Amino acid sequence: MKIGSQAHHSSAISTSNEATILVRGRDLTQELIGHIGFTEHFWLLLTGTMPTTAQRRILDATLVAIAEHGLVPSVQVSRMTLAAAPEALQGAVAAGILGCGSVVLGSSEAAGNFFAAIAAKIAAGLAPEQAAKSLLLEYRAMRRPIPGYGHPLHKGFDPRARRLFEVAAEVGSVGTHIEIARQVERLLPELTGKQLALNVSGAIPAVLLDAGYPQGALKGVPILARTAGLIAHLLEEQLRPIGFVLSHVGAAAIEYDGEAPADFEPTHE
Amino acid sequence: MKIGSQAHHSSAISTSNEATILVRGRDLTQELIGHIGFTEHFWLLLTGTMPTTAQRRILDATLVAIAEHGLVPSVQVSRMTLAAAPEALQGAVAAGILGCGSVVLGSSEAAGNFFAAIAAKIAAGLAPEQAAKSLLLEYRAMRRPIPGYGHPLHKGFDPRARRLFEVAAEVGSVGTHIEIARQVERLLPELTGKQLALNVSGAIPAVLLDAGYPQGALKGVPILARTAGLIAHLLEEQLRPIGFVLSHVGAAAIEYDGEAPADFEPTHE
Amino acid sequence: MKIGSQAHHSSAISTSNEATILVRGRDLTQELIGHIGFTEHFWLLLTGTMPTTAQRRILDATLVAIAEHGLVPSVQVSRMTLAAAPEALQGAVAAGILGCGSVVLGSSEAAGNFFAAIAAKIAAGLAPEQAAKSLLLEYRAMRRPIPGYGHPLHKGFDPRARRLFEVAAEVGSVGTHIEIARQVERLLPELTGKQLALNVSGAIPAVLLDAGYPQGALKGVPILARTAGLIAHLLEEQLRPIGFVLSHVGAAAIEYDGEAPADFEPTHE
Amino acid sequence: MKIGSQAHHSSAISTSNEATILVRGRDLTQELIGHIGFTEHFWLLLTGTMPTTAQRRILDATLVAIAEHGLVPSVQVSRMTLAAAPEALQGAVAAGILGCGSVVLGSSEAAGNFFAAIAAKIAAGLAPEQAAKSLLLEYRAMRRPIPGYGHPLHKGFDPRARRLFEVAAEVGSVGTHIEIARQVERLLPELTGKQLALNVSGAIPAVLLDAGYPQGALKGVPILARTAGLIAHLLEEQLRPIGFVLSHVGAAAIEYDGEAPADFEPTHE
């Protein structure tokens, strides 16, 4: 039964009364806590249905793949913010999440939208290679970067991307989007002159979209995963702080090149 | 082998080279992606060790318990922010996380510190009832609120707290902190004149600390869990927006009572 | 004298030693504190030069115009966040600023870029009306909204926009961008079928660009101005709180329309 | 006239109808835009009254004093965040503001509360020296740091603090809080064994409280001022980026000292 289904302004995620909390129609206490894992709960929250084993394993694999990669910018941001404002762990996490943008971690979303647009062309009748080539040319004409390929450290290939495709094969969830991601990789040298391997931010949306994960929540995967990594770094920051070390070496690396009186001697040089 | 162990400024969470990413000493690609779930990975990130089944189930249960509770303030904040700035999902998530503070979701941390202080008194030789009574009186003397008890909606008892204790019993992880939480609940009517039941923010640190979860990362559990809930709400906000509805009804509910010219007629009244 | 001018990675804003802090080459203590106002300092920080009286008056006028407009979404977000996390005023301000996005307050930037693109066409030889018409048609072809026109409350005209143009005239700073903003207003009924008046987010970039304010910092004006308004609201929130009132009326306005057991009675209905 | 003054839930800051926007009872368009500066507007927003010349000059002086001090942590945080998420300037500003915490910029608030508590003791009859000594001893007994004294770079004295006291003298606004700040400075060597000079975060609340600025909004001054500095840095970041340079030197400065296979060679060493 649906309640309030005529309402113009409504939400289908959760409601409660004094004794019961419903999440996606399930009794939180009796059906969910202690019965399902957090990854299944995340899928349920997003879609309203419980994931299959394959869907859960794919989502787990992407969250594990992207949660942590050392002292990346968002981690440094988060640790510096906690050093300055230790009273508010939530502020340090929020600052780190704000760096999940279009350039760094949010590129999963851009890559997913790119693959989905190619999939739409295939659904409209184009052959896969034609569909991919056609969108690649559109992006190049608009000087838009091709999202999901190349990595500054993992140059030959991104081991996480390769592993995610293996997991998708293991659970029997290889579909159109993974094929498209491979097709684009093959076309890139010819169309761009560069041999760029699929990176983790390209592999994540490919395997998730093939598993039926909602396209509008693609950016949520790196955001949720990195939140776990940030919390680990913020625990470590409390135990052996490096936040101010990071800001000192950062400041020392940048010279001042503005105006100054002739006799002024900067401290850091 | 440990590398660089003499360094003054170091981190033990992750490192990488072109072919390999190590997370807590494990090869991310070969040992973790596709082999463990996200909850296990979170525990590994925090502690450097893999959780036992009991630890993983406790952590899963707390994350599932606190991820979602309807249109609470942080969810409204997040949906309004996405409505105003749809280009930046990360900003909407960050805004929602900023509401995980000392009053609302962050009270898990305060309750955990409260229970840990009682546990320290027990470890120093006091009987459990004496230890709890003693800290309760200290808090009352300093007019500090007792964290982790009472709920505006779930008045008789918080079903999530009860269920978390059941799960702890199921997996054999009932220890000092759960006992302390119960002891405090028994003492509250006598010492405060109020019968307040343990709430979810009190039960979470009790079961986590008994399972060996690190005290300094207690606030991380509601933050990570709510991030999952926020992402679900932000997906729904894209599909059927209510962000501006929320701000309209909010504005309409608050009267202006400052100075005004005699002939001024406000729009909203 | 410039120091370090050969550096690849440098900043020209500020440097210091034990006795002296230089900001844009000026001695902060001897030349700036107590000698100039905050608005002049903001202009100096941005551009490296002191503003003329006209520039300072224009910048003041835009900051005053956009600082406050009642219980708009970002104010509600900020007050709810402080209610939940009173230990971190900076978090409540940050949450409010996150709502200065492309839809609400950040539209100044979009409008400024729109006017600047028309100005570039004029500089390239097109007559003003042709330049404006040409860009309007481009935007319509790409289904991009025309930024800076129309307001849900101030329908006939936005009194702040009109006043900003008066101030620009008073200080003798009417130039190409103000003319373009007027030109677009005249063309809109014919090209869009709608009579939309210039709003404050359109007037701000028009007067600022004519005054020589840097285009890349246009979004900074609503952000800085609203920060002042948010701080005033957060002071009031401490003295007579409404944060939880806002979240209660918000939650009550939205019905749950998901699945529920037949006998479930939600609390809020 | 006051409207709606019986309302339980109300705000006195701003209201509007289609033609008029009232801010603190003033017509925004007719009385404020083009007539007052942003600093006066900020005071009006906070207090409901226009500042005197002395009040405006003190507030300007504090905002100018604290707006900028080179590549401090919050500036680095902000520039790194823009590099990662250039689509959302508001996110980069918010991340920077999140570092205005209890340790770094928010110490103005702690110092103001400390001075106000001493002022309360004086108002209750204690001699100034006794009042200061008494609160200093209380803080030491609770092992609370004394806020507002000492600076890592400006060791002998903080030139900004000295200049703010000069400005207060120039405008005839030297009162109890400035005297208290000096009194504490004199007592510190005897009571703590350290000769620590008043810093800018101590001088700001002293001059502001003497000028009648509201205590609950003290943290708003560094937050608003730094927002101006952050926007200048974010404009520079667009023109000559250093965000990723900062994160690279930061990552290179921190060694990994966790577990690793014997044959693992990290990239950064």
Say yes or no for a CB contact (<8 Å) between D11 and C71. yes
Strand, helix or coil for residue D255 = strand
Instruction: Return the number of other C-beta atoms located less than 10 Å from residue A127's C-beta.
Output: 10
Distances (CA, A) of C161 to C64, C72, C191, C224: 12, 18, 22, 18
Q: Compute CA D23 distance to the chain's CA centroid, rounded to the nearest angstrom.
A: 24
B5, pLDDT greater than 80 = no
Question: Which among D77, D245, D254 has the least Cβ separation from residue A71?
Answer: D254
**Alpha-helix runs per DSSP H in chain C:** 38-47, 53-66, 73-84, 89-97, 107-123, 128-141, 159-170, 176-192, 200-210, 220-239, 243-253
**What pairing do the DSSP bridges indicate for beta strands B255-256 and D10-11?**
parallel
User: For residue range B56-84, what is the model confidence (pLDDT) as tens digits?
Assistant: 999 999 999 999 999 999 999 999 999 99
- Residues of C in Cβ contact (< 8 Å) with A1: 259-262
Strand, helix or coil for residue D238 = helix
Pick D103 or A4 by higher pLDDT.
D103
Beta strand residue intervals within chain D, DSSP E? 10-11, 14-16, 21-23, 26-27, 255-256
A193: left (phi over 0), alpha (psi -120 to 50) or beta: left
- The arithmetic mean of pLDDT across residues D58-83, rounded, is 97
Strand, helix or coil for residue B22 = strand
Show pLDDT as tens, one digit a residue, over chain A (269 residues): 344 444 469 999 999 999 999 999 999 999 999 999 999 999 999 999 999 999 999 999 999 999 999 999 999 999 999 999 999 999 999 999 999 998 888 899 999 999 999 999 999 999 999 999 999 999 999 899 899 999 888 888 899 999 999 999 999 999 999 999 999 999 999 988 888 999 999 999 999 999 999 999 999 999 999 999 999 999 999 999 999 999 999 999 999 999 999 889 877 53
CB proximity list for A5: less than 8 A, separation 6 or greater: C257
Q: How far apart are CA B183 and CA B258, in angstroms?
A: 49
DSSP C90-126: HHHHHHHHTT-STTTTTHHHHHHHHHHHHHHHHHTT-
- Dihedral sign (CA A245, A249, A250, A256): positive
Q: Compute CA A74 distance to the chain's CA centroid, rounded to the nearest angstrom.
A: 13
Strand, helix or coil for residue B114 = helix
Q: How far apart are CA C96 and CA C246, in angstroms?
A: 15
CA-based nearest residue to C228, from D43, B106, B210, D245: D43
First to last CA, chain C: 71
Instruction: Return the number of other C-beta atoms located less than 10 Å from residue A138's C-beta.
Output: 11
Say yes or no for a CB contact (<8 Å) between B87 and C102. yes
Say yes or no for a CB contact (<8 Å) between A71 and D247. yes
- Do the beta carbons of residue D142 and residue D241 sit within 8 Å? no
Instruction: Please report the number of interchain residue pairs, chain B to chain D, with beta-carbon separation below 8 angstroms.
Output: 158
Say yes or no for a CB contact (<8 Å) between A256 and C15. yes
Closest chain A residue to C89 measured between Cα atoms? A88
Owner of token pair 């991820």: B67
A21 strand-pairing partners? A16
Main-chain phi, psi angles of A10, to 5 degrees: -150, 170
Host H or E run for residue A27: strand A26-27
Beta strand residue intervals within chain B, DSSP E? 10-11, 14-16, 21-23, 26-27, 255-256
Tokens matching residue D118:
């001493």
User: For residue range B78-126, what is the model confidence (pLDDT) as tens digits?
Assistant: 999 999 999 999 999 999 999 999 888 889 999 999 999 999 999 999 9
The shortest C-alpha distance from B259 to chain A (Å) reads 34
Owner of token pair 């190349």: A150
Say yes or no for a CB contact (<8 Å) between A33 and B61. yes
Q: Is C124 exposed, middle or buried (CB count within 10 Å of its CB: 0-12, 13-18, 19+)?
A: exposed
DSSP conformation class of D33:
T
- Residues of C in Cβ contact (< 8 Å) with B254: 71, 242, 245-246
Host H or E run for residue B201: helix B200-210
Q: How far apart are CA C161 and CA C111, in angstroms?
A: 13
The pLDDT confidence band at residue B8, using thresholds 50, 70 and 90, is low
Per the prediction, chain B carries an average pLDDT of 94
Closest chain C residue to B250 measured between Cα atoms? C246
Tokens matching residue A258:
């503005």
Q: How far apart are CA D169 and CA D167, in angstroms?
A: 5
- Do the beta carbons of residue C103 and residue B86 sit within 8 Å? yes
- Residues of D in Cβ contact (< 8 Å) with C28: 64-65, 68, 159-160
Owner of token pair 């500066």: D37
Tokens matching residue B174:
């009932």
CA-based nearest residue to D13, from D49, D60, D45: D45
Q: How far apart are CA A57 and CA B34, in angstroms?
A: 7
Tokens matching residue B217:
């990362």
Q: Residue type at B9?
A: H
D256 strand-pairing partners? B11
DSSP conformation class of D217:
G
The pLDDT confidence band at residue C8, using thresholds 50, 70 and 90, is low
DSSP conformation class of D219:
T
Say yes or no for a CB contact (<8 Å) between D217 and C229. no
User: For residue range D11-27, what is the model confidence (pLDDT) as tens digits?
Assistant: 999 999 999 999 999 99
The shortest C-alpha distance from D169 to chain C (Å) reads 11
What value, to the nearest 5°, has the Cα angle with vertex C25 and ends C20 and C28? 45
Q: How far apart are CA D180 and CA D176, in angstroms?
A: 6
Model ipTM value: 0.95
Main-chain phi, psi angles of D263, to 5 degrees: -100, 10
Q: How far apart are CA B232 and CA C199, in angstroms?
A: 34
Q: How far apart are CA D167 and CA A7, in angstroms?
A: 60
Strand, helix or coil for residue B177 = helix
User: For residue range B31-52, what is the model confidence (pLDDT) as tens digits?
Assistant: 999 999 999 999 999 999 999 9
Q: How far apart are CA C80 and CA C98, in angstroms?
A: 14
Owner of token pair 């079961």: B207
What value, to the nearest 5°, has the Cα angle with vertex A199 and ends A198 and A202? 80
Q: How far apart are CA B22 and CA C236, in angstroms?
A: 50
Strand, helix or coil for residue D37 = coil
Closest chain D residue to B13 measured between Cα atoms? D258
CB proximity list for D248: less than 8 A, separation 6 or greater: none
- Dihedral sign (CA B42, B45, B46, B51): positive
Q: Residue type at D174?
A: V
Instruction: Please report the number of interchain residue pairs, chain A to chain B, with beta-carbon separation below 8 angstroms.
Output: 271
Say yes or no for a CB contact (<8 Å) between B228 and A153. no
Angle between helices D159-170 and D200-210 (to 10 degrees): 20
Say yes or no for a CB contact (<8 Å) between C94 and B98. yes
Say yes or no for a CB contact (<8 Å) between C33 and D164. yes
Listed range (A197-201, B183-187, B188-192, D96-100) with the worst mean pLDDT: B188-192
User: For residue range D138-190, what is the model confidence (pLDDT) as tens digits?
Assistant: 999 989 989 999 988 888 889 999 999 999 999 999 999 999 999 999 999 99
Instruction: Return the number of other C-beta atoms located less than 10 Å from residue A79's C-beta.
Output: 31
DSSP conformation class of C48:
S
- Give pLDDT, residue D106: 84
Say yes or no for a CB contact (<8 Å) between D106 and A85. yes
- Residues of B in Cβ contact (< 8 Å) with D27: 261
Say yes or no for a CB contact (<8 Å) between D95 and A99. yes
Question: Which among C95, C164, C228 has the least Cβ separation from residue D42?
Answer: C228
- Do the beta carbons of residue C114 and residue C135 sit within 8 Å? yes
C7, pLDDT greater than 50 = no
Tokens matching residue B33:
């992606």
Interface of D with B (CB under 8 A): 1-5, 7, 9-18, 20, 22, 24-25, 27, 48, 85, 87-88, 90-91, 94, 253-262, 264-269
**Alpha-helix runs per DSSP H in A124-253:** 128-141, 159-170, 176-192, 200-210, 220-239, 243-253
Owner of token pair 């701080």: C231
Percent of residues, chain A, with pLDDT higher than 70: 96
What value, to the nearest 5°, has the Cα angle with vertex D242 and ends D237 and D243? 85
Beta strand residue intervals within A126-205, DSSP E? none
Instruction: Return the number of other C-beta atoms located less than 10 Å from residue C194's C-beta.
Output: 10
- Do the beta carbons of residue B239 and residue A11 sit within 8 Å? no
- Do the beta carbons of residue A221 and residue A46 sit within 8 Å? no
